[in-house]
Structure 1
Amino acid sequence: MVSAFSFTILISGEIPIVIGLIITIFDEWELEEQESWLQDMARNGWYLIRFTFGFAEFVKGEPAEIRYRLEVASKNKQLEDEQIELYEAAGWEHVTSRRFIHILREQRAGETVEIHTDSMIHAGSIKRLKRNTLSRGFTIIFITMLIVFSQGYRFINPTSLDLLEDYFLSNLILVVIYLFLAVYMIRGMIHISLLIRKLKRNEMFDHEKPYQRKKMMRFLIQQASVLTVMKH
């Protein structure tokens, strides 16, 4: 799975390092799925380095049963140094982040203390992610409404001349993009709300949640999108 995106870095006098790149298929709020996926990658000998530009970067190593946990930052996008020190003391290594989501990996298998043992406290931390997603969603909807209002009647009943104007078409494309992003954010808010509701029922995260079906659906959607663009 990773080999199609892998490459080797050769450093004089050192053992070659194999790096793998995979398109990030999970949204940042799909916390359980990401944990399960990263743990499966470790079982196959691939260890996360960073997320960047829509890709997850891995380094090749020995397969191992290594747990991953995702934590939501309490302030801005960064975890406080004191918080990172507490995680390290409990046996967790801070690997990287995706905006507000920070990825932790146990340093030695079976020697770590679970990060969250109280589901209500865990729900409180995830609420920060919901507020951020809600804020971004409202911003996108507001921008969309401004564009629609600026065009007014032309958007409702466009003429053939309107459709030929670059300015009108560019605004129409922007509206479609922003509407897509708004729906995307709404999906995120629903997903996060379901996670919070689950925790409030005193149910902890499923760190081995099945994700293969969702992964396949995302892959098929990506391929269909590429084919549609190529046809046009």
Structure 2
Amino acid sequence: MFGFTNLPCSLYDLPAVETWLAEQERKGKRFVGFSGAQDAKFEDGEPRNEVYRLEPSDGNRRPDPEQEELFRAAGWEYRAASFHDDLWVFRACRPDPVPIHTDPETQAIACRQLQKRLVRRTVPYVLLLAVLGALNVWLWGRQTAGLAELVERPYPLLNTAYWLVYVLFFGGIAVADLLPLGRLVRSLKAGIPMEHTVRRRCHRRYWRWAFLAVVAVYLGAGLCTLRQYEYAALSAGDCAGKYVTMETLGMDNGGYGPEGHYQRSVLGEIWNVREGEPVREDTEYGYTTRWPVFTRLYRLRFSAMASPLLTELRQNADAMADGVQLTDTGLDESWYARTDDGQSILLQDGGAVLYMRVSGEAEDLRDHLQDFAAVLQG
């Protein structure tokens, strides 16, 4: 009966694979061949003490008849070729086989050729993955309005995370193949004969566990993003403490109390609060509704995002690009702007960012910095 077993290490860790194949024979598993780059095929049999050797191939599926006859005369029979036909596997067919290699430097030449072949095949693939990943990030950046939109809808982060995981995993597999082969080439060039019985270095197994761990984190982040997203309307009571009221600014709300909506995502919380009698305005795109007081308050999970967010809002918000920076406010950063139809203020303290736009006659917003500080510090 046949069965498949995962390689416990990189296929290109030649001494480790030779040792592992011999161990399987002692367990009664007779080597038949490889299945893909990570599995070996065995058939059940009697436990035996067998000796295996992995030899860099010339790129063909098996040695030509003349080569095969030379190996057999030295006491080695051909068993199988590895994935991509990079390696030939030989098994001793008599108790006293002649060593395939006696000169480490000659063996280094064959292993160096194998190393070059592996680099030519894997590096372009890894570079392609990196380019595709970078292109994905670039396209996401082009399609996303900015950091403010990302805080509101952080789903593009999952797609970017997917590409990063993909590139890192397959790049790691390539490195795990090249490292042991590089060590072997260096030792052979130094004249040190290759050991054929070694303790296995389970790079492949470690990378699999690492990949599973990263996938678990990725899926967990996705579930966290989906579960934590929330959008809800705000009542007057919900708005309390999330903005500076018209009454505080010496204005009359005309009986139009605060309302708005609340958003929450994995990156933070956003309150949008408006107060006063709405005014319908005609624009080139149609009608729009404008409130005398509009406040947007961000509470970010990562404080490092606050300063870039403030910079983005200052560039995009009405009149704030021409605003002046306030000093000695006790806050991390403060900006103020006045126009013909009102005032705007943009503040940041820790992970909280507040933008407020006021239309009509109101007290100077700079006179209420303590009130704004109380809102930011929540």
CA deviation vs aligned residue, 1:19-77 (integer Å, no higher than 9, x gap): 33312222111100010111122222221001114321212223222110001112355
Q: Select the residue among 101, 110, 125 that pairs with 2:110.
A: 125
1:107 equivalent to 2:93? Answer: yes
- Equivalence map 1:186-201=2 (5 Å): 186-201=175-190
1:97 corresponding residue in structure 2:
81
Cα separation, 1, equivalents of 2:172 and 2:87: 21
2:197 corresponding residue in structure 1:
208
RMSD, matched Cα: 3.4
Do the aligned residues in 1 keep the contact of 2:18 with 2:197 (CA within 8 Å)? yes
CA deviation vs aligned residue, 1:166-194 (integer Å, no higher than 9, x gap): 9x82x752443123222322333232121
Which deviates further from its counterpart, 182-191 or 22-31? 182-191
Do the aligned residues in 2 keep the contact of 1:120 with 1:202 (CA within 8 Å)? yes
Do the aligned residues in 1 keep the contact of 2:176 with 2:203 (CA within 8 Å)? no
- Equivalence map 1:167-186=2 (5 Å): 169=159, 173-186=162-175
Does the C-alpha gap of structure 1 residues 189 and 227 become closer, same or farther in structure 2, counting only changes over 3 Å?
closer
Q: Select the residue among 62, 72, 87 that pairs with 1:88.
A: 72
Do the aligned residues in 2 keep the contact of 1:130 with 1:193 (CA within 8 Å)? yes
Higher RCO, 1 vs 2 (CA within 8 Å, ≥6 residues apart): 1
TM-score relative to the length of structure 1: 0.75
**In the comparison of the two structures, how many residue pairs are matched?**
210
- Equivalence map 1:139-154=2 (5 Å): 139-151=124-136, 152=138, 154=140
Q: Select the residue among 218, 221, 226 that pairs with 2:205.
A: 218
Give percent identity, aligned residues only.
Answer: 22
Larger radius of gyration: 2
Does the C-alpha gap of structure 1 residues 144 and 219 become closer, same or farther in structure 2, counting only changes over 3 Å?
closer
Unaligned runs of 5+ in 2: 221-378
The structure with the greater share of residues assigned to helix is 1
Do the aligned residues in 2 keep the contact of 1:140 with 1:178 (CA within 8 Å)? no
Cα separation, 1, equivalents of 2:176 and 2:133: 23
Secondary structure at the aligned position of 1:114 is classed as coil
1:74 corresponding residue in structure 2:
58
Secondary structure at the aligned position of 1:187 is classed as helix
TM-score relative to the length of structure 2: 0.48
Do the aligned residues in 2 keep the contact of 1:49 with 1:58 (CA within 8 Å)? yes
Cα separation, 1, equivalents of 2:203 and 2:114: 26
Shift, 1:142, TM fit: 2.4
- Equivalence map 1:25-36=2 (5 Å): 25-36=8-19
1:38 equivalent to 2:21? Answer: yes
